[in-house]
Amino acid sequence: MTARIRLALAQLNFCVGDIDGNTAKIVDAIRFARDSSAANLIAFPELAVTGYPPEDLLLRPGLHRRVEHALDIIAEAASGITVVVGHPEQDETGIFNSCSIFRDRRLATRYRKQQLPNYAVFDEKRYFTAGAQPCILEIDGFHVSVTICEDIWAPRTAAAASANGAELILTINASPYRIGKRAARLSAIRAAVAAAGLPIVYLNLVGGQDELIFDGGSMVVDGAGRTVVDVQEFTEVVALVDVEKTARGFIFDGPNDELTADQENIYQALVLGVRDYVEKNHFPGAVLGLSGGIDSALTLAVAVDALGPERVVAISMPSRYTAQMSIDDALDQARRLGCVCHVIPIEKPFAAFNEILSEVFAGTTADVSEENMQARCRGLILMAVSNKYGQIVLATGNKSEMSVGYATLYGDMAGGFAPLKDVPKTLVYTLAKWRNRSREVIPGRVIERAPSAELAPGQKDTDSLPPYEILDPILEDYIEHDLTPQQIAAKGFDLETVRRVASMVDRNEYKRRQAALGIRITKRAFGRDRRFPITSRYSEQTDVPNIAR
């Protein structure tokens, strides 16, 4: 006997806390799926009503009252279609990460997430109580198990769904992006498919939320572990999937969008992160310092791609040490991208600070104090423009610099959002070249010249740091993989170099704690992903002693 249903996968972008706006978007999608697409069922991502993650908003009693009101509105819209929607649920036993299934304008059933992640960027055990029961939904001859995100990463949850009579698993997700996440998800889904012997329909959230990026990438994996439907990443869409159940198994017919390669999806994550942070926080645009170097050049390209050239202002702030080519390249890039670039030299404020500090600095020689003073002059100018016009300042530093503290507090670290905060320097170059693939918007000379802060005569980054092709893999192993200096040196790096790098990482935690929020793209970013104490005497600079037992 053949049975057919049409699923609408609402891969949409929701804003945390905007319960009214999110609810209106949900209702619009329900009407589209039912009236324009003849769908039998529409599914929305995890915690769609509140946005993900709502964090300590979940502790506000008023939030839950508003959620209940929103669910009443969604239930009223659920006529002629089954609706699966994620939301928080509170009762006398706790708060749950739940989804409700509405049909015929009433609540048909409800599911509570069983597996609560509490690692990396996740804090779900801080807020939620785990559910215990599977949910099997009968719809037009199909028995569908509904699960939520982390549930599918535990194959036993999928196996339990099969044991309870499910024929198909629908999982709704708010799974954040990082490099390599698509492959990790697919591996987890295939493990769940193998454990349950069932196809899995995977729906994911899309959008930026503070440092987190949700990339969409919804998919269907059949009972043999083959990906039979792929939905475009980083895009809002209500994707339609026709499912036919035959005596020989399931047949799926839906989008097979071409997915992006690594460089493109990293760049798209940065663009989405900037756009959503600016839009969701109601900034009219962005302003940034354009030095003529590679980091600010890539930041400008991302900002223009995210917001449009008319909403981005660049400011070149040359000092007595700035090469003319840096000014020329900054102006050239702004022209190529079509945005305004002001040139505001910092010589006058720098000279003024030198003068007013001359008595205090008497008898000393020029050092990093004077270098940082230049960076702070620039930070003051950027913040003044931000205050005057309301634009957010985009900090332009990269992960390599933030790791070792090669950045100035209240200077080049000034800003409200840092697009490249989790992008290593070597990847900055890779992404700049990728952005130039069809049209050179970043002048070639910016990519080719040796990096320099230009805060002293003839200064190069390599005066203070190992070459980035050596520094970045050391940082990855130390920060993302928790290897000791000795373990990293065993890979072929000079032990003293590794120890010096590790020491710089350790002693600059205080700077990172004060840094602007930035987009997460790696396995471990600075922010909610990595929580090291500032005051600490723990060190791995020497070999671990053998302790007799």
Q: State the pTM of this model.
A: 0.94
From CA 66, how far away is CA 87, in angstroms rounded?
Answer: 11
CATH superfamily of 264-464: HUPs (3.40.50.620)
**CATH classification of 3-259 is 3.60.110.10, yes or no?**
yes
Instruction: Check if the beta carbon of residue 45 is closer than 8 Å to that of residue 5.
Output: no
pLDDT, residue 262, reads 86
pLDDT at 140 over 90: no
pLDDT, residue 549, reads 40
Span 129-143, average pLDDT: 91
pLDDT, residue 547, reads 45
Residues written for the chain: 549
Residue 309 C-alpha from the chain's centroid: 23
Amino acid at 25: K
pLDDT for 297-316, tens place per residue? 999 999 999 999 999 999 99
3-state secondary structure of 411: coil
From CA 168, how far away is CA 182, in angstroms rounded?
Answer: 21
Residue 104, classified by CB atoms within 10 Å of its CB into exposed (0-12), middle (13-18) or buried (19+), is exposed
Q: Which of 220-224, 255-259, 333-337, 347-351 has the lowest mean pLDDT?
A: 255-259
Span 421-442, average pLDDT: 96
- The rounded percent of the chain whose pLDDT value lies above 90 is 85
pLDDT at 37 over 50: yes
pLDDT band at 548 (very low <50, low <70, confident <90, very high): very low
pLDDT for 447-495, tens place per residue? 998 877 677 777 787 788 899 999 999 999 999 999 999 999 999 999 9
Span 120-133, average pLDDT: 92
Active site residues: 46, 113, 149
Q: Where are the domains of the chain?
A: 3-259, 264-464
Find the helix or strand (DSSP H, E) in which 375 lies.
helix 368-389
pLDDT at 502 over 60: yes
> Pick from 280, 125, 271, 305: which is nearest to 209 by CA?
280
Span 177-184, average pLDDT: 94
Terminal CA-CA length for the chain = 68
How many other C-beta atoms can be found within 10 angstroms of the C-beta atom of residue 538? 7
- The rounded percent of the chain whose pLDDT value lies above 70 is 98
Q: Tokens for 188, please give them.
A: 């987890």
pLDDT, residue 545, reads 52
Residue 217, classified by CB atoms within 10 Å of its CB into exposed (0-12), middle (13-18) or buried (19+), is buried
pLDDT band at 542 (very low <50, low <70, confident <90, very high): low
Please write down the HEC assignment for all residues of 244-300.
EEECCEEEEECCECCCCCHHHHHHHHHHHHHHHHHHHCCCCCEEEECCCCHHHHHHH
pLDDT band at 255 (very low <50, low <70, confident <90, very high): confident
Nearest 5°: the CA angle 310, 287, 334 is: 55
pLDDT at 101 over 70: yes
pLDDT at 443 over 90: yes
Instruction: Check if the beta carbon of residue 420 is closer than 8 Å to that of residue 397.
Output: yes
pLDDT, residue 221, reads 96
pLDDT for 364-391, tens place per residue? 999 999 999 999 999 999 999 999 999 9
SS percent in the chain: helix, strand, coil, step 5: 40, 20, 40
Mean pLDDT of the chain: 93
From CA 40, how far away is CA 357, in angstroms rounded?
Answer: 73
Residue holding tokens 């599911």? 111
Amino acid at 201: V
pLDDT, residue 535, reads 87
pLDDT at 518 over 80: yes
pLDDT for 334-366, tens place per residue? 999 999 999 999 999 999 999 999 999 999 999
Beta bridge partners of 106: 103
Pairing of strands 237-246, 3-11: antiparallel
